[in-house]
Amino acid sequence: MNPLPALSKIRVRLVLSFGLAFLAMAAFGGISYSYFFRMEQKLVFLSQADAMVNMALEARRYEKNYFLYHQDKDFRQALDYLSQYEAMLTNNRQHLLNSLGLSEHKKLAQLADGYRELFREVHRRTGRWSIEEVAPLVENLRSAGKSLIERSEALARSERNHMHRLLKEYRPLLIIFLAGLAGIGALVVYYFLVRLVRPLHTIEEATKVVGKGDFRPIPYDHREDEIGHLIQAFNRMALHLKQNNEQMVQTEKLTALGTLTSGVAHELNNPLNNISTSCQILLEEMPPETAPYHKELLTAIDSQVEKARDIVGSLLEFSRRRKFKLERENLYQLVSESLKLIRGETPVGVKTRIDIPREMAIELDKGHMFQALLNLFMNSFQAMEQGGVLTVRAREIKESNQIELTVDDTGTGIDPEILPQVFDPFFTTKEVGNGTGLGLSITYGVIERHQGRIKVENKETKGCRFIVTLPANRREG
């Protein structure tokens, strides 16, 4: 058997689809982790940036108080908040460098430093210098404080914007992933329902039907996966069961009829013999003056009795289990001998052909097989009264160790309606007295005794074909 292309196997497809889904989930999980990690860092820093803005605001609040009340503690508080602001600048240096760059970081540090220096200067000179003298310094201090707050706010704003950007980037990724996952899910569900569950249901139904004696095959759509194989195996099984069932029915019929007919034939044989003998005696001992009309009647009785005895003879033949002995015979010879035997019965215009390898030999019971073949040939001749060709072929089927013998004619063919009945005992379409309808049932029995099979089909052109398969080599034992 050809190895299946790997992809057509259900197992491989399932592993692939689940593997793909798993990989997609792992990739998405990794990407999501990196996004969340960055967002978390941003959030932490954002709170730091907000805290820096607050420090700067606090410093400025104390600066205002200082100018209102001229108290030292406000000056110290302002510087204290400024130190905290600077500490934050140092602690978050790396993060600030990453998001702001070196120059901006330096700028913030310089601003904080400049603000402190200015404040100190103002504090030192307050009380010693006149207000007009200090005013420009105070003005500088205020604008330095303002810039410090503006820049710190800009920093918090930029971090917030960065967070928004990350969220914006993440959203389409999430949508693509969910859509992909839904797609894979839908495919898997479709595959399970349509390609697995439905055919399995069909097989289940077919199994129930087979159990009831209906051996119809399941339609096979040439799928090459495990389900396809299962359907093929099921159909093979159904075909075998059908053949075995038919054979069993036929055998039962033959057995039942065999018993019946042997009894009837036996009972009829004696009276028929008596009639025949009496008729012979009467004919022989008839006085010369007997009317010719009476003589004709007696001759008619005698010939009808002879016919009846023939029928009884074939009935007995049908029911009798004669000795059966298998011997190796040359098939070509067997066929040509049987054809010779009925040469006298061959209608004018009928040609016979044998297409059998000369050396082909097979184990069979010659007497029985003769009889089986003669019945087939006679039927063909009877169906080709207007002329035709009878062809007998044989070939060896190595794979199944069988020999197939076909008997092919160009006769009337068989009406498809009666095709299933032709092997039945006493089934005949011939007129009363022309056929007993036992020929094919005897042939059937003989082939069966040879552990073979016989079937018939109408040809597409003209006539019908009987196909006999026989074991080519029997094993010893």
Each residue 321-360 as x (binds ligand ATP by CB under 6 A) or -, in order, gives: ----------------------------------------
How far apart (Å, rounded) are the C-alpha atoms in residues 64 and 56? Answer: 12
- Comparison of 100 and 383: residue with beta carbon closer to ligand ATP: 383
**The two three-digit tokens of residue 431, written as one number:** 């007129």
User: H helices within 70-130, ranges in order?
Assistant: 72-91, 93-100, 102-125
C-alpha 282: how far from its chain's center? 79
Site for ligand ATP in 362-381 (CB under 6 A): 375, 379-380
Tell me which of ligand ATP, Mg ion, none is bound by residue 52, counting a contact when its beta carbon lies within the kind-specific cut-off of 5 to 8 angstroms: none
The 8-class DSSP code of residue 345 comes to: G
Task: Specify the residue, 204 or 345, whose C-beta has the smaller distance to Mg ion.
Answer: 345
Exactly one of 412, 449, 462, 472 binds ligand ATP (CB under 6 A); that residue is 412
CB of 254 to ligand ATP, least distance (A): 12
The position carrying tokens 């089909």 is 457
Decide: is 35 part of the binding site for ligand ATP (CB under 6 A). no
Token output for 312? 């009884």
In angstroms, rounded to a whole number, what is the distance separating the alpha carbons of residues 444 and 19? 58
SS3 362: strand
DSSP letter string, 396-415: EETTTTEEEEEEEE-S----
Which range of residues in 40-48, 64-72, 248-256, 422-430 is near ligand ATP by CB under 6 A? 422-430
Least distance in angstroms from the C-beta of 444 to ligand ATP? 9
State the pairing for strand pair 350-355/388-397: parallel
In the bound state with ligand ATP, the residue whose beta carbon lies nearer, of 92 and 379, is 379
Shortest spacing between CB 223 and ligand ATP, in angstroms: 40
| Residue 291 C-alpha from the chain's centroid | 84
List binders of ligand ATP among 223-282 (CB under 6 A). Answer: none
- Taking CB atoms, the residue at the shortest distance from Mg ion is 439
Tell me if 391 sits within 8 A of 467, measured CB to CB. Answer: no
> Using the 8-state DSSP alphabet, how is residue 473 labeled?
S
Cβ 351 to ligand ATP, closest distance in Å?
15
Positions in the binding site for Mg ion (CB under 5 A): 379, 439
- Amino acid identity of residue 339, one-letter, is L
Could you tell me if 66 and 113 are in contact, meaning their C-beta atoms sit under 8 angstroms apart?
no
The answer to whether residue 458 forms part of the interface with ligand ATP (CB under 6 A) is: no
Residues 424-443 that bind ligand ATP (CB under 6 A): 427-430, 435-441
Would you count residue 111 as binding ligand ATP (CB under 6 A)? no
Q: Which residues bind ligand ATP (CB under 6 A)?
A: 375, 379-380, 383, 409, 411-412, 414, 422, 427-430, 435-441, 464
